[in-house]
Amino acid sequence: MRIPFDLTNKIAAITGGGSGIGKSVASVFARQGAEVCILDINSESGTKAASDIRKEGGKAHFHACDVGNQQAVLSVFDQIAVVGGSLDILINNAGIAHIGNVETTTEEDMDRVYRVNIKGAYNCLHGAVKKMKKSGGGVILNLASVASVVGISERFAYSMSKGAILTMTYSVAKDYLEDNIRCNAIGPARVHTPFVDGYLEKNYPGREREFFEKLSKTQPIGRMGTPQEIAYLALYLCSDEAGFITGSFYPIDGGFLTLNT
């Protein structure tokens, strides 16, 4: 009998796979049999993430890559295709945050967020779709956010970028139905990653625990999500068991969108 959510013989590219959600996705996918290709601008964390997977018996490779550079992305995808023969799954996870409203967001801030969060996702979509068409199909999962669909204070540039991720998802899903390419998005609320710890340490020194609890309680469920919880939803949506799902958006938010009153 086939094992549910089996990714054996699948090649998965995961951007921002060196830490946080991306690292958890890479680990979970590798445990399910996928050969994971971690793309990250941070060589130290990306190399370690791939090494950790191999130590557990999984298949993993690290590719240093700035997703905002299209030629760099296309070059990495060419390398993946040569080694693995195909690109079956793309996880568009790489992204950066920004805090500020339209007045406090500078042109430089806007350009930086656009380059990574929007252009970076576009570059990967642009390269992956071409590879997937040649090999008969594939699955794309974009990391959107609750900020894609609801207003959040002081997140002007970030919300802009995540709204774009969602609409790109719909467009790709529509355009490539006949090519057997599925494309979906998930929308996390706050997830406890190293970014959160760094943010609290920088902005609330000595009061990290207090503000961690405050941020946690913005989710009606009373806590932040974990990277592993996001990874298991990603696993389902990228598995053959989700073959009837495309062009969809899945919040994973502890009730943030529907239960906040």
Distance CA 17, CA 32 (A): 16
158 is catalytic: yes
Token pair recorded at residue 88: 């079956």
Question: Among 32, 39, 38, 26, which residue's Cα sits nearest to residue 9?
Answer: 32
CA atoms within 13 A on the CB side of 236: 10
Radius of gyration of the chain (CA): 18
User: What is the Cα–Cα distance from 81 to 129, expressed in whole angstroms?
Assistant: 12
The dihedrals phi and psi of 243, each to the nearest 5 degrees, come to -60, -15
List, as one string, the DSSP characters of 42-78. -HHHHHHHHHHHHHTT-EEEEEE--TT-HHHHHHHHH
Q: Are 117 and 162 in contact (CB under 8 A)?
A: yes
Catalytic: which of 114, 158, 176, 199? 158
Apex 196 CA angle, 191 and 202, nearest 5 = 170
Q: 209, 203 in Cβ contact below 8 A? A: no
Q: In angstroms, rounded to a whole number, what is the distance separating the alpha carbons of residues 147 and 216?
A: 16
Catalytic residues: 158
